Chains A and B, each alone.
Chain A
Amino acid sequence: GQSLEQPSEVTAVEGAIVQINCTYQTSGFYGLSWYQQHDGGAPTFLSYNALDGLEETGRFSSFLSRSDSYGYLLLQELQMKDSASYFCAVSIKAAGNKLTFGGGTRVLVKP
Chain B
Amino acid sequence: GAVVSQHPSRVICKSGTSVKIECRSLDFQATTMFWYRQFPKQSLMLMATSNEGSKATYEQGVEKDKFLINHASLTLSTLTVTSAHPEDSSFYICSASLASYSNQPQHFGDGTRLSIL
Enumerate chain A interface residues (CB-CB to B < 8 A): 30-31, 33, 35, 41-45, 48, 50, 87, 91-93, 96-104, 106
Contact = CB atoms under 8 A, between A and B. Distances in A.
B46 A96 contact: no
Interface string B22-53: 00000000001010000001111110010000
Given A42-B93, A43-B93, A96 B43 contact: no
A2 to B, nearest CB: 11
Contacts of A30: 102
25 contacts: A33-B106, A41-B110, A42-B108, A42-B109, A42-B110, A43-B93, A43-B106, A45-B105, A45-B106, A87-B43, A87-B44, A91-B102, A92-B102, A96-B101, A97-B101, A97-B102, A98-B34, A98-B46, A99-B34, A99-B106, A101-B43, A101-B46, A102-B43, A103-B42, A104-B43
